[in-house]
Amino acid sequence: MPGGGDVECWTLERGGTRVRLLTYGAIVQSVEVPDRSGDVADVVLGLGSAAEYAACPKPYLGAVVGRYANRIAGASFTLDGVGYDLPANDGPNCLHGGPEGFDRRVWRAERVPDGVRMSRVSEAGEQGFPGRLDVAVTYTLDEAGALTLRYDAVADAPTPVNLTNHTYWNLNGAKSGPAVGRHTLRLGASRMTPVDAARIPTGGTAPVAGTHHDFREPRELDGDHDHNFALDGGGPAAELYARETGRLLTITTTEPGIQLYTSDGFAPPVPYAPGSGVALETQGFPDAPNRPEFPSTILRPGERHASTTTYAFTTR
C-alpha cells in the first residue's frame, strides 16, 4: 500500500466460479463465471491492485462498507438520548460510514472451510460511531459455485450497524461496455423508500406500482436508480440477467432492503463509464437511526448482528 503495509489477495475456486478477494476493504476484486457457451469472463467492475483502489475511494468498487452502509442524514443521530456527530462526506450527510470507513481499512484474513473469513475491530469513536465493534465477513463458495457472504458483529455499547458489499455487476463482462440497457432486472419488492434530492428518505415506504421503480416483473434495466427497495421476502431479492451471454445472477438475503444503483455517477478517476455496472446492495434501510418507522439497525451489547447474502450464478 502507499505509505507501507501489505495487502493479501485470496482466491476461491469451486463449482465453475473463481473469486478474488483483497484484504484491503474486504474487496471482491473479481468474479469469473461461464456464459451459456462455456466462455469464462470476469463479471465484476474491479481494479488491478490495492494501490489503485486506495487512489479511487469512490464509488466503493467491490468493498464492504460500514459501520453504516448508505446515508445518515445530517451526519448525525441520537441514540438513547445521546447525540453523535459523524463526518459528512456526501454533502451534509454521512455516506457508507464516512471518508475512512470499512472500505479504507485492511482486514485480517484466515482460511475457513470452503472460503475465507475477514475480520477487523472498529474501535469506539471510529468515524464518530459509539462502541467497539468486532466485525467479520465470511466468503464461501458452495459446490454449485454460489458465493455467500455472512456478516457477523458484536458491540460493547449500543451502536448503529448496517453492512453490505458494494460490488458492481456486468454479466456480459466487466469490460464489455454498458450494463444499463443490456440486462433485465427483477426485484422482489413491491415498495421502496422515497427520497429527496440528496437521496435521504422522506419517510415511510411507497408502492412501486406505476413508477420508474417497478421491477416486480423482469424488465430492461434503465438508468437513474439510486434507491432502497423494501423486500417482500419469501423469494429472491433480485434476478439480474444478461440476454447476450445468458448469465443469470440470483441474489437471496436475510436483509430487509436492497439498494439499486445504476452507476450513473461514475466519473474520473473511475476507469469505467457511467452505466457500466449495477450495484445491488443488500442492507438495512438508509437513515434508519433517524427513522423509528424503519426496521431497527441498532446493535446492543449481548446481541449479535448476523446476516447472509448469496449470489448464485447460472445460465439460460
User: Is 166 annotated as ligand-binding?
Assistant: yes
User: Is 232 annotated as ligand-binding?
Assistant: no
**Which has the closest alpha carbon to 16: 182, 163, 141, 178?**
141
> How far out from the chain centre does Cα 287 lie?
16
Hey, which residues are catalytic here?
A: 166, 281
User: Is 227 annotated as ligand-binding?
Assistant: no
Amino acid of residue 289: P
Cell of 252: 437471496
Angle at 230 between CA 46 and CA 186, to 5 degrees: 60
Rounded-to-integer distance, Cα 283 and Cα 166, Å? 11
Strand partners, 241: 184, 248
User: Is 167 annotated as ligand-binding?
Assistant: yes
User: Is 311 annotated as ligand-binding?
Assistant: no
| Segments in the chain forming alpha helices (H) | 50-54
**Which has the closest alpha carbon to 25: 42, 41, 40, 46?**
46
User: Is 183 annotated as ligand-binding?
Assistant: no
Which residues have CB under 8 Å from 190's CB, separation 6+? 207, 208, 209, 216, 230, 232
Rounded-to-integer distance, Cα 69 and Cα 125, Å? 17
Cell of 283: 442492507
Sign of CA dihedral 70, 76, 78, 82: positive
Helix (H, G, I), strand (E, B) or coil at 126: helix
Rounded-to-integer distance, Cα 257 and Cα 279, Å? 13
Contacts by residues 210-216 (CB-CB < 8 Å, ≥ 24 positions apart) = 215/185, 215/186, 215/187, 215/189, 215/260, 216/186, 216/187, 216/188, 216/189, 216/190
Which residues have CB under 8 Å from 268's CB, separation 6+? none
Q: Which residues are annotated as a binding site for beta-D-galactose?
A: 70-71, 166-168, 226
Q: Which residues are annotated as a binding site?
A: 70-71, 166-168, 226
